[in-house]
Homo-oligomer: A and B are copies of this chain.
Amino acid sequence: MSHTGFGASGDVDPDLPLTPEGLTYHVTCTAEHLADRIVLVGDPGRVKMVGTFLDKDSICYEASHREINVITGKYHGVPVTVMSTGMGTDNVEIVMNEVHILKEYDVEKRQWRTRVGETPKNADEKLFDPSKVKLIRVGTCGSPNDEVAVGCLAITQYAIGMDNTCQYYEAPAVNHTADVQEVLKKVQATTLGKVQVYATKAAPAITNGLVESCKILNSTLPAAEQQAYYVGTTCSGSGFYGCQGRSVGRFRGHLTVPHLTDELAGLRFNVSEGVQRVSNIEMENSALCYLSNFLGYQAGTVCVVIAGRSHAHHAFATPEQTAKALSNGLTIALETLTRN
């Protein structure tokens, strides 16, 4: 089955645009075709490639609308959806709201599902367990950290939102912990304090699962092909250039946070896990973790470092370096999603 966009007419609610069949407006999918385990990639062109990691002939759904491509199939027999978000936290806001609709809105009954721990509407109602929804973003990023070279996988533990997408949403409970407040306080003390920033945390089960999966993968690889990884704090920007401290042409000398990479590289967070540092900068993770935390879904991110932006590692990954680390990142994401 496949779909190529939103062709609804008639009674569509402008505040909750859904076709009568239950297709959401941007993610062209119905509840039936969205697995509980979701791999998110930024690049729409990458979805087909990730499809090659799935079980042979297991793909049962494909759709494409704008930059959001979707395929659903199986990995080692477990249903998995692969979806592109396109670039940016604003796109992630769209995807997370539509995943929420697809998982928890009953289109036929036109009502939201009751969750485990809440009072069922009737004796027959099957209660929804939000913690079963697991999302792992596999992306690319830059790193301001001199311990991180190109080709390394950055695994997210804490998240800093340099965007403002989630300023429009109440904070999830985890944001009030001493750990997340420590991260927030330290970043607010940099020049980023001029801009409203926020912090949150990836689901620990996802972070730990990615680390465990990378160790298992490395146990199968020869010494020369070991996959380097680094666990730390991922910063998400609301752009790629000035928003990540890249001064281009006429903008040089006119950025609000011109020394963003150096400032982020200098941070040390005293958190439960020990002393952690900023691992990487990209454009999607903050909203993924924040909104997933609020919804009770489990989310995390693993990114290939393609732009080394520290003084020690000032380099851009070759296509071969990127392809190898991306393949390893996808493998550990799929293993983590389907292990339990």
Contact = CB atoms under 8 A, between A and B. Distances in A.
Contact of A249 (B13, B101, B165, B250): B101
Contact of A255 (B44, B64, B170): B170
Contact of A45 (B5, B16, B89): B5
Interface in A265-290: 283, 287
Interface string A226-251: 00000000000111111100111111
Contacts of A67: 44, 66-67, 86-87
A8 interface: yes
Nearest to A130: B250
Interface of A: 5, 7-10, 12-17, 25-26, 42-45, 64-67, 86-91, 93-94, 97, 100-101, 104-105, 112, 142, 163-165, 167-170, 194-196, 237-243, 246-251, 254-257, 283, 287, 294-295, 307-309, 314-316, 318-320
Contacts of A163: 90, 163-165, 238
Given A112-B250, A239-B287, A250-B294, 4 more contacts: A66-B87, A112-B249, A164-B167, A250-B295
A169 B255 contact: yes
Contacts of A14: 142, 307-309, 314-316
Contacts of A196: 164, 195-196
Nearest to A309: B14
Nearest to A64: B45
Contact of A93 (B165, B167, B243, B309): B243
A104 B249 contact: yes
A45 B26 CA distance: 13
Nearest to A244: B168
